[in-house]
Amino acid sequence: MAVRLDEIVARLGGQLVGDGGIRVTGLATLESAGPEQISFLSNPKYRSQLATTRAAAVIVDASVAVECPAAAIVTPQPYLYFARLSQWIGAQPRPVAGVHATAAVEGDVPASASIGANACIAKDARIGRNVVIEANCSIGPEAEIGDDSWLHANVSVYAGCRIGKRTIVHSGAVIGSDGFGFARESDGSWIKIEQTGRVLVGDDVEIGANTTIDRGALGDTVIEDGVKLDNQIQVAHNVRIGAHSAMAGCVGVAGSATIGRRCTVGGGAIILGHLQIADDVHVSAGTLVAKSIPEAGSYTGTVPFMEHAAWLKNFARLRHLDAMADRIRALETRLAALEEGKKS
């Protein structure tokens, strides 16, 4: 779609510098943008690319607006503005409504829904308005998919689980598989504990490809409104993730952990079970969280993890550990010589 710059500003705000009649047809980076595309500058690392960009327009903040060789949209948060613009002119078109001839639908679906090839929707499942369920998805009995949600190909939603409105679930995700619950017999064998809870996913959530969210053992696993989960994340049974928290790829959250609102968790981090994480906690990539975090802040490390600033200070010292050990040995030798001299 082609959109005029003055139309963009009228819809999203910001200050237009340059010709409002310029039309843009797509989004691109500063380096790759062509004369019909719009870009943005948020990270100072790419500031040098601004001078040579071929973009028709650039979204910038006021500090660099005078350096922009093209038309500019000036806003305090260029990256956020770019995100909102991408939802308008870069959004993937929704498939045509209707049920594919090869889909197996045991109940009723709204006429506005789109059900793809070989999708299976079980009896008593509830499908909202304008829902997209792509090819090979499986929706279990009494599961619920809220209005305007989009399930990409090969998503499985187990029985009784609920997905809210405007939620996106990417390919290969599994919602509601059994949690890892077993009791051990005296002979060392394992007895399965039936997982009788559900997964409850709120509104405006995004769940990445091949992410798995286990159903609760007794109560429910809860993903609150606005949560963003990257690809290949494991969320165990009875976990609760607070509203607007975000997790990068390969995070693992063990059973019954509770994570607060507006938290972020970097890629590959591990949160052990039955822990309580406060609101506004930020866990760095690769961190092992082995105890509850009662206060907001940034946390980094493995064994043990600690407040981020303390970790940086200790790690700086760790790099000089060998030299410090040599100095200590030298001091010990001198001290032993002084003590020997006193004795003689």
Catalytic residues: 237
Contact 241, 224 (CB under 8 A): yes
* CA torsion, ordered 192, 193, 198, 200, to nearest 10 deg: -90
Residues forming a β-bridge with 174: 156, 212
- Region of residue 154 (phi > 0: left; psi between -120 and 50: alpha; otherwise: beta): left
Q: 202 vs 20, 100, 101, 310, CA distance in Å? A: 39, 28, 31, 36
d(CA 207, CA 201): 10
Residue 12: count other Cβ atoms within 10 Å of its Cβ: 17
Nearest CA among 10, 168, 155 for reference residue 92: 168
C-alpha angle 286-290-296 in degrees, rounded to nearest 5: 80
d(CA 135, CA 74): 42
Size (the chain), residues: 344
User: What does the block give as tokens for 70?
Assistant: 């093209």
Contact 198, 161 (CB under 8 A): yes
Residue 53: count other Cβ atoms within 10 Å of its Cβ: 23
